[in-house]
Every structure is written in structure tokens, then in C-alpha cells.
């Protein structure tokens, strides 16, 4: 069974956005994991993610990386439709749906699970901020047995899907209160075909799971992690209608992270983590029984094509 999966998704167009089309080279690499703009959150989660999420109850860690241009649907896929998650379960993204899957899997296997959630922001300068505690603006990693942990990070116990919804809302309020959304480093735009500054912070949701089977005669506890990363979006800067430049900040982060995580040299990969906060967060859960899903959200303009063949070939090589 492969431990890596590449998924493509187009989100529904917002007002002012033009129709999106899939780049065929990347479609070929995805091997059937392509989802158009009419695919609902639930269908996408079931077909692309849920089978590996359930395996977290058996000790398999999972990392989900979302990469794409700004407004292409990374946050839409991770968090769901803006403002609708509390009142409309169908509008919920993969973060909340993972909790649903944990609950269903635990019930089907007659298991008991302790689940905790953390939420971080990583700036372009490598600072890790705890979005559940405004006092923790610069978390420091601690290395123990070739693994990295953030001992001061907030870990909130989760027992229901609503707990996750509440946690995400709390984190959103924290982002607003601390000015993350208003800062120059975190400017988003609904129209990616105009000048703007890149969103250069990574949003990271971190589940830690400990579970055991009630039917087992052996006191065996499975420990795993599920980490969902909304990578910083790339920047498009349009000088002329026929001459557009794509600056791939998000792709650089994706490339460096995957090269570190997938290194066959465990010791070398560990050392490389010392210089990147994102890889420090992901590294403990990657080696051993682990899975990796890269979700590439697509934003292509049908009248003025912004080809990403170079980016797509890189993704095909490392996924």
C-alpha cells in the first residue's frame, strides 16, 4: 500500500473569479484523485481523505499538506465554507470531518480514544505562534530522541465535533485580535490577478490521538498524530495582461518540507529539521507508520493561462 497520495481540487468560484480548469500534466500525476468545483466537502473528504484518517486509531500518523495559489481553495478545503461550519455540517472542511471520522472509527472498533487539538501559525521568519493562547507568541521546539516537540503548546481535549468547531472559532478570534489577518505578511485577495503581498504564514492544525481497544486482552495503546497544514499561498504579480509572474512561496515551503520528510537518511533529515519550524512540527509523526497526502488546490484562468508546468513536475517528482 502506498504511503503517499496526491489530490487535486477546484473550489466553487466566488464572485469575481473566473472559471478554473485543470492542468493535464498534474491530473495525470494524481491518478484519479481529481475533484471539480461541484464536489461537496463531504464527498471530497470521503473519497480523498477518510480512509487514512481512520487508520490513526491504529497508530498510523497522517500529514495533509494543502498547496495552491491564494484563493484557490486551501482554507476552504481545510476549514470549510466561511461562517457556515457551526450551523451547517455540510459546509465543514476536513479538519472538523477528521473528528467525525475518529468518533465513527472508535465506535466501530469498540475503542476508547483521547484526542487533543493544537493550532499554530508559522511566520515566514520561522516563529511559531500558539493560536489558542495569545501569550505564546514564539514557541520553541525541544529535541528528544531525534524528535521535536513543542512542550509549551496548548493541547485542548476534544470529545465531539462541536469541540473542534469551537476551537477553530477561538483560533480565528485570536488571529483577528493579534492582527495576523491584517498584517502585511498575511494579506489575502479574492482576485489573484492583481498586485498584492503574499500570505506568508502557514496555518497548522495538530491532532494527537491515543486509543486502545476495549476487546483487547493486552493493554496496547496506539499513539498517532494527524497534522493538517494550510501552506502559505504563492504570489501572482501581473505587470501586463500577457506577462504574468508567479512567485511560488508556498511551493518552496512544500518542496523543502517534503524533501526533508522523505529523506532516506533519517539522521540527515533530522539535522535538516533544525532550520525549519514547519518541518520540526511535522517530523515526529512522519517516520514509522505514516501517511502523506498532498492536496493541490487549483486556480487557473481560462482566458489568460498561468501555466504551472514547472511546479507540477516538481510535485510529481517528490510525491
Domain ranges within the chain, ordered by starting residue: 4-318
How much is the pTM?
0.77
CA-angle at 114, arms to 109 and 118, nearest 5°: 130
Q: 222-230 and 61-68 as β-strands: parallel, antiparallel, unpaired?
A: parallel
Cβ-Cβ contacts under 8 Å for 286 (sequence gap 6 or more) = 61, 63, 261, 292
Could you list the residues known to form a binding site for ATP, using ranges. Answer: 68-75
Between the alpha carbon of residue 33 and those of residues 4, 46, 48, 112, 296, the distances in Å are 12, 12, 7, 32, 10
In sequence order, the β-bridge partners of residue 296 are 8, 67
Spatial CA neighbour of 121 closest among 53, 60, 185, 57: 185
**Strand ranges inside 91-168, DSSP E:** 111-122, 128-130, 142-144, 147-149, 156-158
Q: Residues annotated in the binding site, as ranges?
A: 68-75
Q: Quote the cell numbers at residue 313.
A: 513536475
Among 96, 145, 134, which Cα is nearest to 117's?
96
φ, ψ for residue 196, nearest 5 deg: -165, 165
Q: What CATH fold (topology level) applies to the domain 4-318?
A: Kinesin (3.40.850)
What number of other Cβ atoms are within 10 A of residue 159's Cβ? 13
C-alpha cell at 37: 468545483
Q: What is the pLDDT along the chain (319 residues), one digit of tens a residue?
A: 457 787 878 766 554 443 333 343 444 445 567 787 788 999 999 999 999 998 888 888 888 988 887 778 888 899 998 778 888 999 999 999 999 999 998 888 888 889 999 998 887 677 888 999 988 888 887 777 666 678 889 999 999 999 999 999 988 888 766 555 444 344 343 333 333 344 468 888 999 998 887 765 556 788 888 989 888 775 554 444 344 444 445 556 666 666 655 554 555 555 544 456 777 777 655 555 778 888 888 765 432 334 344 444 444 444 4
Amino acid at each position: 500500500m502506498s504511503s503517499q497520495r496526491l489530490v487535486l481540487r477546484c473550489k466553487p468560484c466566488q464572485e469575481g473569479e473566473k472559471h478554473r480548469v485543470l492542468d493535464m500534466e498534474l491530473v495525470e500525476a494524481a491518478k484519479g484523485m481529481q475533484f471539480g468545483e461541484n464536489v461537496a466537502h463531504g464527498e471530497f473528504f470521503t473519497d480523498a481523505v477518510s480512509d487514512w484518517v481512520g487508520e490513526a486509531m491504529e497508530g498510523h500518523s497522517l500529514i495533509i499538506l494543502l498547496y495552491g495559489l491564494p484563493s484557490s481553495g486551501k482554507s476552504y478545503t481545510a476549514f470549510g465554507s466561511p461562517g457556515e461550519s457551526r450551523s451547517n455540517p455540510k459546509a465543514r472542511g476536513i479538519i472538523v470531518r477528521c473528528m467525525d471520522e475518529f468518533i465513527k472509527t472508535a465506535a466501530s472498533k469498540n475503542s476508547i480514544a483521547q484526542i487533543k487539538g493544537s493550532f499554530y501559525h508559522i511566520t515566514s521568519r520561522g516563529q511559531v505562534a500558539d493560536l489558542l493562547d495569545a501569550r505564546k507568541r514564539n514557541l520553541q521546539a525541544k529535541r528528544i530522541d531525534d524528535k521535536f516537540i513543542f512542550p509549551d503548546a496548548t493541547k485542548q481535549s476534544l470529545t465531539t465535533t462541536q469541540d473542534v468547531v469551537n476551537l477553530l472559532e477561538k483560533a480565528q478570534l485570536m488571529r483577528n485580535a493579534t492582527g495576523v489577518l491584517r498584517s502585511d505578511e498575511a494579506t489575502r485577495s479574492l482576485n489573484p490577478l492583481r498586485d498584492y503581498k503574499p500570505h506568508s504564514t502557514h496555518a497548522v492544525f495538530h491532532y494527537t490521538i491515543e486509543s486502545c481497544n476495549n476487546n483487547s486482552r493486552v493493554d496496547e495503546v496506539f499513539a498517532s498524530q494527524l497534522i493538517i497544514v494550510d501552506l502559505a499561498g504563492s504570489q501572482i504579480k501581473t505587470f501586463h495582461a500577457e506577462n504574468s509572474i508567479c512567485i511560488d512561496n508556498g511551493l518552496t515551503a512544500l518542496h523543502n518540507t517534503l524533501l526533508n520528510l522523505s529523506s532516506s537518511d533519517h539522521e540527515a533529515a533530522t539535522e535538516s529539521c533544525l532550520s525549519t519550524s514547519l518541518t520540526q512540527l511535522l517530523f515526529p509523526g512522519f517516520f514509522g507508520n505514516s501517511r502523506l497526502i498532498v492536496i493541490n488546490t487549483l486556480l487557473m484562468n481560462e482566458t489568460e493561462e498561468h501555466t504551472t508546468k514547472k511546479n507540477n513536475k516538481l510535485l510529481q517528482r517528490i510525491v
